[in-house]
Chains A and B, each alone.
Chain A
Amino acid sequence: MDKQKVLALTGNQAVAHAMKQINPDVVAAYPITPQTTIMEEFSNYVANGLVDTELVRVESEHSAMSAVIGSAAAGARSMTATSAQGLALMWEELYIASGLRLPIVLVNVNRALSAPINIHCDHSDAMGARDSGWIMIFNENAQEAYDATIMAFKIAENERVFLPVMINFDGFTISHSIDAVSILDDDVVKNFVGDYKAPYNMLETPTTVGAFDSLGGFYYEFKKVQEDALRNSLPVIQEVYDRFAEISGRHYRHLETEFIEDAEIVFVIMGSLTGSVREIVHEARRKGIKAGLLKVRTYRPFPEKEVVEILKNSKAIVVFDRANSPGASYAPLCSDITNALYKERFIKPVVNVIYGLGGRDLELEEIEEALKIGIDASNGKEYPEKIWISIKGKEVD
């Protein structure tokens, strides 16, 4: 393992640095807060000749995704970045990227969707794209965002995968905050990412991509193959995490846990506010409360078997969702957790905490409140199935 230098960088600077080291063939992007500073920084690298990337400045996110679909189909290593409304505008293209099995990397700096208009973090943007067939990885801090960006092409371009990858991290909380980030040597990253050879080259051999497939065709079978590919990518993603550990010393897993062995109440969360929940879990342990933490990194494909393995001995589960699914039983992450448990016939008290929408801070006191609810649930007392923990003006008894 080579030595690394530690820099004080914002999350967006760290990701731009990773992009510089990856040196993708094509990047197409349109500005949107809080993503913009990634492309601002990266376009400096382009202008200063530090990368060979063809930077395409498009007129919308719809065009940004269209451009990288075109370049990826032509065999170029292609990348883009966006947030919120930008991701929403890419929506129809997201399905085309995954349907065409193109190994595109998209950095999504998580932000709320309008209305009311709001530039701050939540995971609604990513959850809107949840079923588009992309691999989705959530990151807690700038270091993880940097590392995940470097790993993304290794996952996407693997011949057992050939799927687009979405790297998520929280807007402002990570994207605009200065953090200590360990930076790998340029050559180490270059060797790790390696050269990309597309399975076909449409410039040499004219190829039809995304042809019309009518009722007598294979659309249905194709979707089944796509589903299999996404599910089968799970071990490949772990292999890439493992290989990355060899060059960085940082060993990632689909799921990260703390105090899970004997945990009675388990908090489940993903993203930057995992740290605040971790603090409360540590504090609970100091008081002798058997709390545990499950952080979800690989969100799609959902590592359901591992989730069940981790949660099956708990007495109550508190799932923190930074997005809602209006009118559904639970918000997205909580639905995934309860589905996974139900499939394996584990029925337990589950509390779904809605937090952080539109950048609302999750206060430590609110996590303590969630812990109390979790303790009640684990003791067979009544508990709310879904709670909006940060609502203003709520009654306090």
Chain B
Amino acid sequence: MLEIRWHGRGGQGVVTAAKFLTDIALFQNKYFQAFPEYGPERMGAPIQAFTRIDDNPINIRTGIRRPDVVAVLDATLIGTVDFLNGLKENGTILINTPEPPEAIRRVLNIENKPYKVFTVNATHIALETIGRPIPNTPMIGALVKALNLAPIEVVLEFLEKSFSKKFSEEIVRGNVDAAKRAYEEVQEG
């Protein structure tokens, strides 16, 4: 089972990102769960969301305490939220930041840990493509690359389909571009 814990702030599309991955899992005929940790829902307050994907039906419905992956949509959570808590020994970290992975390793004091660290400047990409600082779609693109979740073309197609229900063509295009760019620009180190 793949367990992903999402960290971000209210308004950054954390829950939407957690839920979007289930569309890909559904396409792959896998079992899935996605749910937010509902607390005080205030714009800017730290929030978590969870995604589980498995080949078999999923029984557990508790929050994810031992994630395989933590995806952090806001680097200002460093030092505020203990998002590494419970991360598996060979777990993956993806952070939205302009910094390279080595710098993040230093800041998080995990230079000698076997974690896989990925960084992507998702807010910058979102501003350039969507025109708003909402980092969730670039984070999806980066995560698809980091975890080799699915062919990027498939993901972009789903993104387009899913967003077309709610948004204008311009916004849909912006989001698709954002995910694609993040997929290409994400760094590992």
A272, B33: Cα distance in complex, Å: 13
Instruction: List residues of chain B with CB within 8 A of the CB of A176.
Output: 35-36, 38
Instruction: List residues of chain B with CB within 8 A of the CB of A172.
Output: 35, 38
Instruction: List residues of chain B with CB within 8 A of the CB of A6.
Output: 26
Nearest CB to that of B31 among chain A residues? A180
Per a CB cutoff under 8 Å, which of B34, B61, B63, B65 touches A178?
B34
Question: Knowing A119-B38, A176-B35, A179-B33 touch, does A276 contact B62 (C-beta < 8 A)?
Answer: yes
Q: Are B31 and A363 in contact (CB under 8 A)?
A: no
Instruction: List residues of chain A with CB within 8 A of the CB of B65.
Output: 363
Q: Are A180 and B62 in contact (CB under 8 A)?
A: no
Interface residues on A, range: 20 to 34
A362, B38: Cα distance in complex, Å: 16
Q: How far is the CB of B58 from chain A (nearest CB, A)?
A: 7
Instruction: List residues of chain A with CB within 8 A of the CB of B36.
Output: 176
Residue picked from A8, A119, A172, A180, most chain B C-beta under 10 Å: A8
Instruction: List residues of chain A with CB within 8 A of the CB of B74.
Output: none
Q: Are A363 and B62 in contact (CB under 8 A)?
A: yes
Instruction: List residues of chain A with CB within 8 A of the CB of B61.
Output: 173-174, 177, 272-273, 275-276
Report B72-83 CB contacts with A as 1/0, cut-off 8 Å: 000000000000
Instruction: List residues of chain B with CB within 8 A of the CB of A362.
Output: 62
Question: Knowing A8-B32, A173-B35 touch, does A178 contact B22 (C-beta < 8 A)?
Answer: yes
Report B46-79 CB contacts with A as 1/0, cut-off 8 Å: 0000000000001111110100000000000000
- Near B by CB (< 8 A), chain A positions 316-362 give 361-362
- Near A by CB (< 8 A), chain B positions 6-56 give 19, 22-23, 25-26, 31-36, 38
Instruction: List residues of chain B with CB within 8 A of the CB of A17.
Output: none
A129, B58: Cα distance in complex, Å: 31
Instruction: List residues of chain A with CB within 8 A of the CB of B25.
Output: 8
Q: How far is the CB of B60 from chain A (nearest CB, A)?
A: 5
Q: How far is the CB of B164 from chain A (nearest CB, A)?
A: 16
Per a CB cutoff under 8 Å, which of A120, A178, A275, A363 touches B35?
A178
Per a CB cutoff under 8 Å, which of A120, A178, A275 touches B59?
A275
Question: Knowing A6-B26, A8-B22, A119-B38 touch, does A178 contact B33 (C-beta < 8 A)?
Answer: yes
Residue picked from A6, A173, A278, A362, most chain B C-beta under 10 Å: A173
Instruction: List residues of chain B with CB within 8 A of the CB of A239.
Output: none
A176, B38: Cα distance in complex, Å: 9
Instruction: List residues of chain A with CB within 8 A of the CB of B63.
Output: 361
Report A70-82 CB contacts with B as 1/0, cut-off 8 Å: 0000000000000
Nearest CB to that of B23 among chain A residues? A8
Q: Are B59 and A279 in contact (CB under 8 A)?
A: yes
Q: How far is the CB of A70 from chain B (nearest CB, A)?
A: 35
Q: Are B26 and A8 in contact (CB under 8 A)?
A: yes
Nearest CB to that of A367 among chain B residues? B62
- Near B by CB (< 8 A), chain A positions 272-309 give 272-273, 275-276, 278-279
A6, B23: Cα distance in complex, Å: 11
Asked whether any CB of chain B lies closer than 8 Å to the CB of A364, the reply is yes
- Near B by CB (< 8 A), chain A positions 362-378 give 362-364
- Near B by CB (< 8 A), chain A positions 170-200 give 172-174, 176-180
Nearest CB to that of B62 among chain A residues? A361
Question: Knowing A178-B32, A363-B65 touch, does A120 contact B58 (C-beta < 8 A)?
Answer: no
Instruction: List residues of chain B with CB within 8 A of the CB of A119.
Output: 38
Instruction: List residues of chain B with CB within 8 A of the CB of A276.
Output: 59-62
A120, B65: Cα distance in complex, Å: 19
Instruction: List residues of chain B with CB within 8 A of the CB of A173.
Output: 35, 61
Q: How far is the CB of A4 from chain B (nearest CB, A)?
A: 14
Report A241-276 CB contacts with B as 1/0, cut-off 8 Å: 000000000000000000000000000000011011
Nearest CB to that of A11 among chain B residues? B35
Nearest CB to that of A171 among chain B residues? B38
Instruction: List residues of chain B with CB within 8 A of the CB of A272.
Output: 61
- Near B by CB (< 8 A), chain A positions 57-111 give none
Nearest CB to that of B65 among chain A residues? A363
Nearest CB to that of A120 among chain B residues? B38
A6, B27: Cα distance in complex, Å: 10
Instruction: List residues of chain A with CB within 8 A of the CB of B22.
Output: 8, 178, 180
Q: How far is the CB of B68 from chain A (nearest CB, A)?
A: 16
- 21 pairs from A and B in contact (CB 8 Å cutoff): A8-B19, A8-B22, A8-B26, A172-B38, A176-B35, A178-B32, A178-B34, A178-B35, A179-B32, A179-B33, A180-B26, A180-B32, A272-B61, A275-B58, A275-B60, A276-B61, A276-B62, A361-B62, A362-B62, A363-B65, A364-B60
Residues of A within 8 A of B (CB): 6-8, 119-120, 172-174, 176-180, 272-273, 275-276, 278-279, 361-364
Beyond A177-B33, A180-B26, 19 extra complex contacts between A and B, CB < 8 Å: A8-B19, A8-B25, A8-B26, A8-B32, A119-B38, A173-B35, A174-B61, A177-B61, A178-B32, A178-B34, A179-B33, A180-B22, A272-B61, A275-B58, A276-B60, A278-B59, A279-B59, A363-B65, A364-B62
